Amino acid sequence: MTTHAACPRCAFDAVRTLAASPVAGVWLVRQCERCLYTWRTTEPVRRTTREAYPEEFRMTPADIENAIEVPTVPPLRQP
């Protein structure tokens, strides 16, 4: 089975396995530990490899850090 060294979306190299196919050895579900992008190893290469991953969906550490909060966390109310 192909192994994926880096996240297709943000190129981070810490990737974990969330699930394996009930039929052994068919696919794994992988997840980037930084941007949480999740993919199955049998998906088309445009979703599973950094090289083919579309420019418009790529994410940088700054994109993650600066993403707006929805909804915003309210101030703590004094009891």
Partner 1 sequence: MAYDDLRSFLAALDAEGQLLRVSDEVLPEPDLAAAANAAGRIGEGAPALYFDNVKGFTDARIALNVHGSWTNHALALGLPKHTPVKEQVEIFASRWDDFPIAPERREDAPWRENTQAGGDVDLFSVLPLFRLNDGDGGFYLDKAAVVSRDPEAPDDFGKQNVGTYRIQVIGPDRLAFQPVPVHDVALHLHKAEEKGEDLPVAITLGNDPVMAIVSGMPMAYDQSEYEMAGALRGAPAPIATSPLTGFDVPWGSEVVIEGVIESRKRQIEGPFGEFTGHYSGGRRMPVIRVDRLSYRTNPVFESLYLGKPWTEVDYLVGPNTCVPLLKQLRAEFPEVQAVNAMYTHGMLVIISTAKRFGGFAKAVGMRAMTTRHGLGYVSQVIVVDEDVDPFDLPQVMWAMSAKVDPREDVVVVPNLSVVELAPAAQPAGITSKMIIDATTPVAPDVRGNFSTPAKDLPETREWAARLQQLRTAASAR
Binding stretches for Zn ion (CB under 5 A): 7, 9-10, 12, 32, 34-35, 37
Is 36 a binder of partner 1 (CB under 8 A)? yes
Is 35 a binder of partner 1 (CB under 8 A)? yes
Fill in the DSSP letter of residue 42.
T
Is 22 a binder of partner 1 (CB under 8 A)? yes
Q: Is 11 exposed, middle or buried (0-12, 13-18, 19+ CB in 10 A)?
A: middle
Is 52 a binder of partner 1 (CB under 8 A)? no
Q: Is the Cβ of residue 13 or residue 26 nearer to partner 1 in the bound state?
A: 26
CA–CA separation, 10 and 32 (whole Å): 8
Q: Which two tokens stand for residue 11?
A: 């190129």
Is 8 a binder of partner 1 (CB under 8 A)? no
Is 51 a binder of partner 1 (CB under 8 A)? no
Whether 58 contacts 10, CB under 8 Å: yes
